[in-house]
Structure 1
């Protein structure tokens, strides 16, 4: 057997595999001999079927199977030994004169080669954000805590700060939804006046257009989709069923211990510090994701290299479960090219800077993820063996293991980028961050 490679250009190559009879005859003979021992053919005792008959019946199929096995093994071994960095998979070239009746065969494969390039981190000017918890946000969370741990007191009549429970109905739109909301969540004094003074059993007609201060509230109370809620302009009846007001909880040691069982909070000032710390920890995760997205965009834009475009489009036609037309493959390539470029850039950065992940690191990362999940359900100190067992089960699932590995890689890359890229850092509130990065009003 002989394998040779010919470079077409820097990004494309042809590998030729020549296989002669001596390469496969011995394996074919062994398989046929095993067939002979087990074949059940009328008129012959088991194990005494003439080899000529076995060869005539099975010989060609066995030969084809063994040649294909040998071809695949030898091609894979060649790619590894030659350290060829290929994109996609080798594509067999069609040979119109090929025949399985010959004793020696020649196969050719097209290869798409990964480009060689350098990554200049210094040329990337990227904006990063330091998201701070504002005093307004902290005060709002203090109020939420007091409300959450407060006591509901039943009322005879609704007031501005009352909780009102009732059923919204509109037969034409098939709306029949029981909901609870605050009277002062309503938008405009006109709507508030309709509820203030209302009693249990009262039926009030309301217009849905601009009914609530927050846009998403209408969607929730009526049980309609976001799209329907956006332009909904109908009349609904609201039947009052319950009225109450929340007596806010006092900030005392009993409440602090409910929030932090370890006794770490003893004053409102310490509680505010905890709220700020926890909020900014969550904000940091979003800021890091934005940073990674921004660096990705910048690297793809500023790292120039060519790809074996025609080869990849041809490969995409047969790479998936469903075969694509040439036009579909071109479209798929255009959609995936940016992602492929970043994969190559990411791989180059990790290789050049010895950024690696071993299994022990992945287990520790999985355990940290599990620990934080368990803490949310009140188990702040799980046993190590329990964490090991859960991590083992999660990582035995290939899809979950890949997801966690991607998260860990992203975490390492963010740390690397922070050390090696010069950022234009801007300090913002969470609302400013959401509006600037995603062009969305966080208060809605």
Structure 2
């Protein structure tokens, strides 16, 4: 057997595999001999079928099968030994004159080679690292929400601006018949509010669905329809009042603090606000970190220039999936996935150059931490180590789940690496301003 590689250019190569009879004949003979021992052919005792008959019946099929096995094994071994960094998989070159009616064969494969490039993480960039702070307004709003969640419902004779009304919306033509509860001040405009303020149990109120609530999603919720239906709905509905009440906020006292923090860590309103601020900014940090990772990804893809074997990859995509694609479909798929492929190559280069590794022990510990956090939500604060190990083993035994957790852990490693090695512009913002700037 002889395997050779010829570079077409820096990104494409052809591998030629020449196979002669001596490379496969012993294996073919072994397989045919095994067939002979097991063959049940009328007129012959088992194991005594003439070899000529076995060869005539199975010889060519066995030879083709063994040549293909040898070809695949040899090609894979060659790629490993030559340390070829390829993209996609080798593509066989179609030979119109190929025939199995011989004992010597020559096969050719196209290779798409990974480009060589450098990643400059120290270069000048305009990436902003956001520090999201919890404003006094946000903290006060959360205190108010807590007081309302733990407050008492008081029944009212008639609806007020800040009261809850419960009743049934009806429109027979649009098949609407939905019991719902909402705040009077959730309504949009004084005209709608006036219709409800002063309403009593049993009153029937007619309103227009268009611009009924301040929030666009509220109408779909109270009418029990999809957002798409609610957006198009422009009709009248009746609302029959069934209950009117309001929430008396809970007192900010030790009883409430102990409900929120049974460990006794909060004893004053100031300490409660500090806890809210800490928890909120912890959650905000996760969003800020994800935004930073996305921004670095965009920056590295845009600033790291290299060519790809685009023609080869489009050809490979045509046959890579379960369904064969047309040339046009493959080109479209390549366009959609090119940026992701570029970042995978950049990520791999950074890992190699900076010896960033992911050990199984790290993944196991990360998985156990994830499981422990979930168990804590259900009251199990101190699970046994053996239990954690068993659950983590089962989780990582699921390939899809293992890949998801591995991706999350790698993202954390890259984020830490970028923060340590890249310079960013730091900007302190409120959560509202962060949303406006990042998701505008």
Q: TM-score range by the shorter chain?
A: over 0.9
**How far apart in 2 are the matches of 1:190 and 1:323?**
60
Q: Cα offset for 1:111?
A: 0.2
Separation of aligned partners in 2, 1:377 and 1:226? 33
Match of 1:81 in 2: 81
Q: Give, in whole Å, the separation in 2 of the partners of 1:389 and 1:166.
A: 51
Distance change >3 Å, CA 384–CA 28, structure 1 → 2: same
Q: CA deviation at 1:228?
A: 2.9
Moved more, 183-192 or 6-15: 183-192
Matches within 5 A, 1:240-279: 240-279=241-280
1:10 and 2:10 matched? yes
- The aligned residue for residue 142 of structure 1 is 143
Aligned-partner Cα distance in 2 for 1:191–1:179: 17
Report the Cα distance in structure 2 between the residues aligned to 1:66 and 1:179, rounded to whole angstroms: 71
Whole-Å separation in 1 of the counterparts to 2:357 and 2:129: 25
Instruction: Output one character per residue of 1:330-362: Cα deviation in whole Å (capped at 9) or x when no partner.
Output: 111111111111110111111111111111111
The answer on 1:396 being equivalent to 2:397 is yes
Change (3 A) 1:251 1:386: farther
Secondary structure in 2 aligned to 1:122? Answer: coil
Secondary structure of the residue aligned to 2:240 is strand
Asked whether 1:107 is paired with 2:110, we answer no
Q: For 1:213-228, what aligned pairs fall within 5 Å after superposition? A: 213-228=214-229
Structure 1 residue 231 displacement after superposition: 4.4
- Tell me, in whole angstroms, the C-alpha distance in 2 between the residues paired with 1:382 and 1:189: 55
Partner of 2:92: 92
> Which ranges in structure 2 are unaligned for 5 or more consecutive residues?
none
**Match of residue 410 from structure 2:** 409
- The reply on whether 1:152 has 2:141 as its aligned counterpart is no
Normalised TM-score (structure 1): 0.96
Partner of 2:38: 38
1:125–1:422 contact (8 Å) kept in structure 2: no
What secondary structure is seen at the aligned counterpart in 1 of 2:262?
Answer: coil
RMSD of aligned residue pairs (Cα, Å): 1.3
1:201 aligns with 2:197: no
Q: Tell me whether 107-116 or 118-127 shows the greater mean CA deviation.
A: 118-127
Q: After TM superposition, give the deviation of residue 203 of structure 1 in Å.
A: 1.1
CA distance in 2 between partners of 1:144 and 1:288 (Å)? 27
Q: Which residue of 2 aligns with 1:328?
A: 329
The match for 2:353 is 352
Q: Which moved more, 1:412-421 or 1:204-213?
A: 204-213
Q: Is the contact between residue 13 and residue 112 of structure 1 (CA under 8 Å) also seen in structure 2?
A: yes
1:63-88 deviations in Å (ceiling 9; x for gaps): 11111011101110110111100000
Where do 5+ consecutive residues of structure 1 fail to align?
Answer: 440-444
Q: Which moved more, 1:373-382 or 1:293-302?
A: 373-382
Which residue of 1 is the match for residue 184 of structure 2? 183
Partners of 2:233 and 2:428 in 1: CA distance: 38
In structure 1, the residue matched to 2:291 is: 290
Shift of 1:214: 2.1
Using the TM superposition, give the Cα deviation of residue 154 of structure 1 relative to its aligned residue in structure 2, in angstroms: 2.0
Cα shift readout 1:46-98 (whole Å, capped 9, x = no counterpart): 11111111111001101111110111011101101111000000000111221
The range that moved more, 192-201 or 83-92, is 192-201
Match of 1:423 in 2: 424
- State the TM-score, normalizing by the size of structure 2: 0.97
Output the CA distance in 1 between the equivalents of 2:26 and 2:126: 63
Aligned to 2:238, what secondary structure does the other structure show?
Answer: strand
Alpha-carbon distance in structure 2 between the residues aligned to 1:201 and 1:381: 53
The 2-side partners of 1:239 and 1:378 are apart by 42
Partner residue of 1:442? Answer: none
| Match in the other structure for 1:61 | 61
Aligned length: 439
